[in-house]
Structure 1
């Protein structure tokens, strides 16, 4: 059980390091966010199994994570349609 918690913390840390580092593409940033959400999901799952709780909160978390992924993809598609690519250097962020 401790190995699983350590692995989930390592996944969360690696996802945050990818998110914080400077990347040119928005798709890599969105994939790192989904990796962070996946590590939080696994942590939530282990915590709920450990304390013998119901998994209703896990379903709510999955619904919100799917909505977050759909929002990120819609932003990516609108950015590609507007600017022609998903480079951060191609547009001015104020």
Structure 2
């Protein structure tokens, strides 16, 4: 049971970094991936503990990889159009 508390602490740290540091897009994307990794480990540990099917974990990994690739594509398009990943350097209201 202490492992779940450890990985819950990892998720809380990821949420804290996500909510406190909003200067760079890359840092927010990394904190989101950190949260997803903690959720994956908790879900895997829980499903292995009670001998459930692990197909849910595969679906979770597929969606988290899609989320990561979408975030990276947004990061690349912002760097190409604005030159950096600072949130203060451009307005989100512009098309």
TM-score, normalized by length of structure 2?
A: 0.94
Distance 1:41 1:93 in 2: 32
Distance 2:21 2:47 in 1: 35
Asked if 1:83 corresponds to 2:82, the answer is yes
Aligned positions of 1:53-68 closer than 5 A: 53-68=52-67
Distance 2:66 2:21 in 1: 25
TM-score, normalized by length of structure 1?
A: 0.95
Q: Give structure 1 regions of 4+ aligned residues with deviation exceeding 3 angstroms.
A: none
Provide structure 2 residue ranges, at least 5 long, that are not aligned to the other structure.
none
Paired residues, what number? 93
Provide structure 1 residue ranges, at least 5 long, that are not aligned to the other structure.
none
Residue 39 of structure 1: how far off its partner (Å): 0.2
RMSD: 0.8
